[in-house]
Amino acid sequence: MKSYDVAIIGSGPGGYVAAIRCAQLGMSTAIIEKYSTLGGTCLNVGCIPSKALLDSSHHYEDAVKHFEEHGIEIPGEVKVNLEKMISRKQSVVDQTTGGIDFLMKKNKIDVYEGVGSFKDATHIKIDGKEATEIEAKHIIIATGSKPANLPFIDLDKERIITSTEALKLKEIPKHMIVIGGGVIGLELGQVYGRLGADVTVVEYMDRIIPTMDAGLSKELTKVFKKAKFNINVSHKVKSVERKGDEIIVKADNKKGEEVEFKGDYCLVSVGRRPFTDGLNAEAAGVKLNDRGQVEVNEHLQTSVKNIYAIGDVIKGAMLAHKAEEEGVFVAETIAGQKPHIDYNLIPGVVYTWPEVASVGKTEEELKEEGVAYKSGQFPMRALGRSRASGDTDGFVKILADKNTDEVLGVHMIGARCADLIAEGVTAMEYRASAEDIARMSHAHPTYAEAVKEAALAATEDRALHV
């Protein structure tokens, strides 16, 4: 039986990053993955393939709607080859997962293919092509999550689908009904909306992207309605039925009246659930909570001190970059270091266009906590760079402490905000004031100038270009 310093169950962003950091710190490391490719949900059926389809569909929409105004004329009809688009997406996935294989070899990490389950607190059985068993002083659970469902919905994975199936459809839906107005539903809804589908979004809460700042929800709703999306908030779905190729969704609106939606595909995107199936956690004495999450302390240790858990399988936002930070944190903790994660500074991003990004406290949270704050906002349409590219939707908003001027939250919607939010994270990590950002030179013309201008607006309301 092979013995390791650390064994990691699950090879998503949390697991494989933890493995690399453990190896860097001189520990003998093994990683166990039940699928034939590494990378978990994110690389195989999540972040990476969805971004590939978002980019491809964006190019198509630009060609159909915007090229002409740039003086680019395409004779004949611009057509979508969905099969080719899906094939390109898969090649992006294959290159990316292949990159993880390379990193495992480079860092001399042993990879086991099969389902890893606890025999006890230091032994893992691996049920793959061949059954095997390994021993490890420390074990990291990084088994991730799966799409959640509502109890009354029968997912047939043909027309009533999750995000996994939505990434490989054989045809463009005529009318896609999206249950859930969060990140996943809106991103994939936009993909197929650009390609010609009618899209109806049915959301239980009173706004889309309900966990983000309300100003971002309002602006994104405006953009989607302009794109002819049918957005229905405060709607409680109560049944989803398939009749041949037709899907019928019934819901109660906020007045309690029953409404009906009919389409040919229904994407169920009501969040994700922690995945521990087959882990046999109880054999090691690892406790799960009522939500199926692995319980951890502030060091990400489970109820068994040599076993840790990270990523979607524990509490907190289900984000790849949060899992990566936790993977590094646990590796360094095992090595005797004293790492730190500030969960308030883990950014959230929606990769629609315009992109939406956020870090720190929302206005709603600051009000609830009774914090005296000031707000500075700057519209993207006032930027020369936005007008040059034609991306004029959106704004940047900076929230700062009313007395100290320390930045408490940065919220933005617009072109390339997924990249721009890193400036907000950096500023907040160093506890910058709004004036600190306002006094930094930002290259002109850039989208990033909106961050400087919003900071100026938060500092004595002195934005220059509005």
CA distance 279 to 309: 12
Catalytic residue among 59, 66, 299, 444: 444
Q: Is 444 a known active-site residue?
A: yes
At residue 286's C-alpha, the angle toward residues 285 and 288, to 5°, is 130
Burial 141-166 (b: 16+ CB within 10 A, else e): bbbbbbbebeeebebeeebbbbbbbb
Torsion region of 177: left, alpha or beta (phi above 0 gives left; psi -120 to 50 gives alpha): beta
Tokens of 331: 């590796």
DSSP letter assigned to residue 23: H
Closest CA to 375 of 347, 345, 405: 405
CA distance 217 to 207: 6
CA 113 to chain centre: 26
Contact 48, 72 (CB under 8 A): no
CA distance 10 to 108: 17
What residues form DSSP beta bridges with 451? none
Residues identified as active-site: 444
